[in-house]
Structure 1
Amino acid sequence: MGTLYNWLGRSPYVGDAYLSKTLLHDFRLYRKALTDEEIQLTELNVVTMLNNLDAAYLENPNPPVAVRNPMNTAIKVYGTPNGIRINGLTGVERVAVFDLSGRSIRVANASDITLKPGFYFIKVDNLVTKVLVH
């Protein structure tokens, strides 16, 4: 049994702002767990690499895109026994629902969405959150 979403540096979810434009610089598999010394002082040279990445990030002329924190918004998303309830919508927001495989689910009433039990991703404008329908 496996998954269709074995991606590195790329999210399987549409609209995932946290992994957009992710850069995977170096990926290695080892046959053993590395010690702290091996991580810090060998060819991995983590300290130098982190400093170099920080310097490259600061040189980027494009500022990072801000993602709204769900704790700082009036919009609240709740799982209910029959679906998902979204409080605080004003009617101008774009609401999208996705299942775990990333498929978009049609939404008729954005504030009260009827769904089967499972995990879902809800996108309200730039806010993305996951919800369990039980």
Structure 2
Amino acid sequence: MQNVLTIENTNEERESAPFFAIDTTFVLFFLAVEIGTSAIGFDIGSALGFMTLAMFVTVPYLLPFSGERPAFLPWAAGRAAIAVLGLFGGLALGSAAGTLLPESVKFLPMWLLIASAFFSGCFQLYGIMRPRLAK
């Protein structure tokens, strides 16, 4: 009688990362909506907002991640499309606030931005500090 012991590697990395930086995508969208609602003309505040938005499109690619990262250009193009969608949504919400919608709707994107940034920060800190098995 022969005994065979088989051990599977449960920590095997996935080849693609479908949920790479999904938490920062929500922050990106609500930031774009907030910039869209508050962007009246081109001033220094709007310029800083657009620079922040451009950084938030690209910088989350550098966050720590245990899996394999997707290709940068398609990933950044998808995030840029989400940012443009959020900007147009913010422009529509800003023009509808006070006429079609109550005036207090203008504060909803900032509230959602703060909430999503809080949860994104919690997820990122957990990803950095989570316990890992020694190899």
Scaled by the length of structure 2, what TM-score is found? 0.19
Scaled by the length of structure 1, what TM-score is found? 0.19
Greater helix content: 2
Q: Which has the higher contact order (CA 8 A, sep 6+)?
A: 2
Greater strand content: 1
